[in-house]
Amino acid sequence: MMFQAINRKGTYTTKYDDAKKKFGRDDLLPLWVADMDLASPLCVQETIQKRAAHPVYGYTVYPNAYYEAIQNWMKKRFDWAVDAESIVPCYGVVPSLNFAINAYSKEGDGILIQTPLYPPFAASIKEKKRKLLDNTLLYKNGRYQIDFDDFESKAKESTLFLLCSPHNPTGRAWTKEELEKIIDICIKHEVLIISDEIHADVVYAQIHHSIGSFEKIKQRCVILSSTL
Ligand SMILES: Cc1ncc(COP(=O)(O)O)c(C=O)c1O
Query: Is the C-beta atom of 94 inside 6 A of ligand 1?
Result: yes
Tell which residue, 97, 147, 152, has the closest CA to residue 123: 97
111 with 147, same domain: the answer is yes
Distance in Å, CA 168 to ligand 1 centroid: 9
Which pLDDT score is estimated for 227?
83
Q: Is 68 within the bounds of a domain?
A: no
Domain range holding 25? 1-60
Which ligand 1 atom is at minimum distance from the Cα of 96? 11
113 with 35, same domain: the answer is no
85 with 12, same domain: the answer is no
Which pLDDT score is estimated for 74?
95
Query: Is the C-beta atom of 226 inside 6 A of ligand 1?
Result: yes
Number of structural domains (the chain) is: 2
158 with 210, same domain: the answer is yes
Query: Is the C-beta atom of 198 inside 6 A of ligand 1?
Result: yes
The strand ranges marked E within 44-186 are 110-113, 131-134, 138-140, 143-145, 158-164
Using one digit for the tens of pLDDT, what is the confidence trace for 37-64? 989 999 999 999 999 999 999 999 999 9
Written as one letter, the residue type at 37 is D
Query: Is the C-beta atom of 82 inside 6 A of ligand 1?
Result: no
Q: What is the pLDDT along the chain (228 residues), one digit of tens a residue?
A: 677 889 999 999 999 999 999 999 988 888 887 788 989 999 999 999 999 999 999 999 999 999 999 999 999 999 999 999 999 999 999 999 999 999 999 999 999 999 999 999 999 999 999 999 999 999 999 999 999 999 999 999 999 999 999 999 999 999 999 999 999 999 999 999 999 999 999 898 889 999 999 999 988 999 999 987
CA 97/CA 139 separation, integer angstroms = 26
User: Please, is 71 exposed, middle or buried when counting C-beta atoms within 10 Å of its C-beta (0-12, 13-18, 19+)?
Assistant: middle
209 with 118, same domain: the answer is yes
Distance in Å, CA 93 to ligand 1 centroid: 6
Neighbours of 179 (CB within 10 A): 20
Distance in Å, CA 92 to ligand 1 centroid: 8
DSSP 8-state symbol, 191? P
